[in-house]
A and B are shown apart, each in its own frame.
Chain A
Amino acid sequence: MITVVDYEAGNLRSVQTALTHLGAEFRISSRPDDVLASDQVIFPGVGEAKHAMGILTRDGLDEALIAFAKSGKPLLGICLGCQILQDHSEERDTDLLGIIPGEVKLFPGDMGVKVPQIGWNTVIHDHSRLFEGIPQESSFYFVHSYYLSTQLPGGGDSPWVCGRAEYGMEFAAAVHKENVWATQFHPEKSGPKGLRLLENFIRRIG
């Protein structure tokens, strides 16, 4: 059973319709027990990091997600969910779950691009299983003002980046550490390529 984590961070309907379309068996839940008892977890979300962390902590979902990640079973973070798996965000100076080492920063306003990034951007991936069957430089749909750095918080290149994109500067479009995967873009809103990525997670990872 797949659990889609509901923590009041945006509308889960698009993830729900995409999973239904793919014929996946899933439930939407905000219960830590459901997360822990799942075979796979999808952790989506849109919104503000500090508020989201507050809800996760209040509901005990922070510890459940950390424990689930440690269990070795597949976890997929999407957009805000992807960011929350990192160590820290500049968005209201928020400590995150620290499941994948990394820093979330605000896009600088002086790079000649509009912030937030809203739209389609091409991704260069590392041929990991999440991107199986997806050509290089395929386009995915992004909506975000904060981005995952390709550098580790202490300096040096992050070894966890599995997809890269450019928006005034290079940023991490997808990250992967062991059983944990995350995309800054919305696969559920990225047309056939996005559905393929979700299908890869559901059927090929685990």
Chain B
Amino acid sequence: MFQKRIVVCLDVRDGKTTKGIKFKGNVDIGDPVQMAEEYYNQGVDELVFYDITASAEKRGIMIDVVRRVAEKIFIPFCVGGGIGSVEDMNAVIMAGAEKVSVNSAAVRNPSIITGGAERYGSQCIVLGMDAEADPSMPSGYGVVIDGGRVRTGRDMIEWAREAESRGAGEIVLNSIDADGTRDGYEITATRLVSEAVGIPVVASGGAGLPRHLAEVLTEGRADAALIASMVHYGDFTVADIKKELTSSGIPVRMD
């Protein structure tokens, strides 16, 4: 049986993991390689490393993290943040990442999706999209970039469809409104995107309890749910969450 995926996201700055609450006030909480191994042992299905390193000179640290992670865990993982060109994609893929995620850079220059998909295949190219409620948009949600600071004036659904047609293999939809609240995912936005595209949609932003994942994987029609704080601070393990999803009748990998 095909299963829903639980994806753990690790924000990495200067080679250390952090977790941003509404993208502000990041605090260091650990070594990304050790954390990746811990989640691998807990049975996570996939990992995302989001590089929030500010200075370009320190970007090389991330490549080293990717290389070390690839030697320790044998599940797919994606790297995003600071990917501005097909050459940037090449560096993380050659270091061992399965997928790369593009976000703001793809809005500014959508041909990066096309170029990446042509070179590595759609399965490698993930569109990360930050959306916020915006009644002036046809879908009711607009695309924002640069960590939520800049409104693009683009509609969430229209951008999702364009990214799919350009060769994105998956969309991670992050709700700016829900991110960091731990009150639950943005179900409506997730469902709208999932129904509008034929590629998998990963819901992101707002997870605080296992039932939030259950909601977004059923009502929200998400193919996967991304989590961070709820496991990083030790409130839940991936295994706890999967157990609860299984008892709710949601198929997840239990071995």
Q: Which residues of A contact B (CB under 8 A)?
A: 10-11, 13-14, 17-18, 20-21, 46-48, 109, 113-122, 135, 137-139, 141, 143, 166-167, 188-195
Contact = CB atoms under 8 A, between A and B. Distances in A.
A141 B76 CA distance: 8
B159 interface: no
Contacts of A116: 122-123, 169, 199
Contacts of A137: 1
Contacts of A189: 74-76, 98
Given A11-B94, A109-B198, A114-B200, A190 B74 contact: yes
B207 to A, nearest CB: 18
B1 A14 contact: no
B96 A13 contact: yes
Given A139-B253, A192-B74, 7 more contacts: A20-B71, A118-B170, A120-B5, A121-B1, A189-B75, A189-B98, A194-B74
A109 B197 CA distance: 12
A166 B121 contact: no
B96 A46 contact: no
Chain B residues touching A, majority SS: loop
B224 A119 contact: yes
Interface of B: 1-5, 40, 43, 45, 70-71, 74-76, 93-96, 98, 120-123, 169-170, 198-200, 223-224, 253-255
A190 B253 CA distance: 11
Given A17-B71, A115-B198, A193 B255 contact: yes
Contacts of B70: 13-14, 17
Contacts, number: 91
Contacts of A122: 1, 3
30 contacts: A11-B94, A13-B96, A14-B70, A14-B98, A17-B74, A21-B74, A109-B198, A114-B200, A116-B169, A117-B2, A119-B3, A120-B3, A121-B3, A122-B1, A122-B3, A139-B3, A139-B253, A139-B254, A139-B255, A166-B1, A166-B2, A167-B2, A189-B74, A190-B74, A191-B40, A191-B75, A191-B255, A192-B74, A193-B255, A194-B74
A13 B94 contact: yes
A46 B223 contact: no
A88 B4 CA distance: 31
Contact of A120 (B45, B93, B170): B45
B205 to A, nearest CB: 20
A117 B3 CA distance: 11
A135 B169 CA distance: 31
A17 B2 CA distance: 26
Nearest to A186: B76
A56 B188 CA distance: 47
B74 A195 contact: yes
Nearest to B253: A139
Central interface residue in B2, B70, B122, by most chain A CB within 10 Å: B2
A118 B199 CA distance: 9
Given A14-B70, A189-B76, A191-B75, A46 B123 contact: yes
A11 to B, nearest CB: 6
Contacts of B94: 11, 13
Contacts of A117: 2
Nearest to B93: A11
B210 to A, nearest CB: 18
B74 A191 contact: yes
B2 A113 contact: yes
A73 B253 CA distance: 34
Contacts of B121: 10, 46-48
